[in-house]
Structure 1
């Protein structure tokens, strides 16, 4: 059984696949506690892999599923990935990278959180397609680029909940990218256009 926080169909709002129609399967629970996290970890519905497939089958035509959390690597396994592939989905995952993943996942977005949480283990990923760093203006993201060679590099301004501070961080993020043009700006476009 998997602890599923919610399942919904929307557009990917962040990173390399921004704007792409996607089914999101959000898993409950995380091994870290970041101050900006927007997931209610206490709420979940136990589901089997077959129940997850049944729940997302109405959106099969989009062909793209994003496993997120919380921290999905605490639950996602080979059996689930195989069933998602059999159902015709390209499988992406958003992870803090602290646990190993099934090798058959198609797209891995590593979002390191060691700047926000204590005692974060070293990355346990064999493959990284994308690095998405939450930019807080205090930590240099460049060290993550060296840990993920050939990955697509994204900087995303931290949503602090304060509009003035958010604007400052976005401006700092833009300046950083201008100085380090191998990074790309990732905005939380789903929040800008008010979709899930």
Structure 2
């Protein structure tokens, strides 16, 4: 890998590492090499594995927890699905100070459906009441598949 990337930069600005649980496979050598190749890297994790490596400045940890036992305590931001994972908000609030918390409405039957619209209203109420940020899957809102 060193020889492949040595002295080169990616034609793309960033890299998102996702799928399954990336922290099970990722090691510090690979992360260091990739961080010199990309301007930024976002590691999307469910929080079941702690991040114990040294983290380059251009690497960000996004945590979207599925379980109340969150082992990733140093995420750059957390995202909680509403209403499916709303019970995790208090746990995330405890971990997140002062990290950002995003709430994302669960889409059921399209963004025009009554259920999805209600989920959006719940998210907006949480943003207003608690200072969370709204996260929408924009490609779904505008109809891109």
TM-score when normalising by structure 1: 0.59
Point out where structure 1 has 5 or more consecutive residues left out of the alignment: 1-48, 115-119
Q: Considering fraction of residues, name the structure with more helix.
A: 2
TM-score when normalising by structure 2: 0.77
Q: Secondary structure at the match of 1:60?
A: coil
Alignment partner, residue 38 of structure 1: none
Q: Secondary structure at the match of 1:100?
A: coil
The structure 2 residue matched to 1:95, chosen from 45, 52, 69, is 45
Alignment partner, residue 62 of structure 2: 109
Alignment partner, residue 106 of structure 2: 158
Compared CA separation, residues 62 and 195, structure 1 to 2 (3 A)? farther
Q: Considering fraction of residues, name the structure with more strand.
A: 1
Alpha-carbon displacement from aligned partner over 1:43-93 (angstroms, at most 9, x marks no partner): xxxxxx67x97xxx8x92442111111322222221221121221331111
Map 1:64-83 onto structure 2 (within 5 A). Answer: 64-83=14-33
Question: Could you tell me whether the CA contact under 8 Å between 1:137 and 1:169 is conserved in 2?
Answer: no
Q: Secondary structure at the match of 1:145?
A: helix
Compared CA separation, residues 76 and 137, structure 1 to 2 (3 A)? closer
Alignment partner, residue 139 of structure 2: 190
Compared CA separation, residues 165 and 113, structure 1 to 2 (3 A)? same
Alignment partner, residue 128 of structure 1: 75
- Structure of higher CA gyration radius: 2
Map 1:142-153 onto structure 2 (within 5 A). Answer: 142-153=90-101
d(CA) in 2 for partners of 1:138, 1:150: 21
Question: Could you tell me whether the CA contact under 8 Å between 1:137 and 1:172 is conserved in 2?
Answer: no
d(CA) in 2 for partners of 1:153, 1:134: 11
Alignment partner, residue 123 of structure 2: 173
Question: Could you tell me whether the CA contact under 8 Å between 2:80 and 2:86 is conserved in 1?
Answer: no
Q: Secondary structure at the match of 2:93?
A: helix
Q: Secondary structure at the match of 1:133?
A: strand
Q: Secondary structure at the match of 1:108?
A: strand
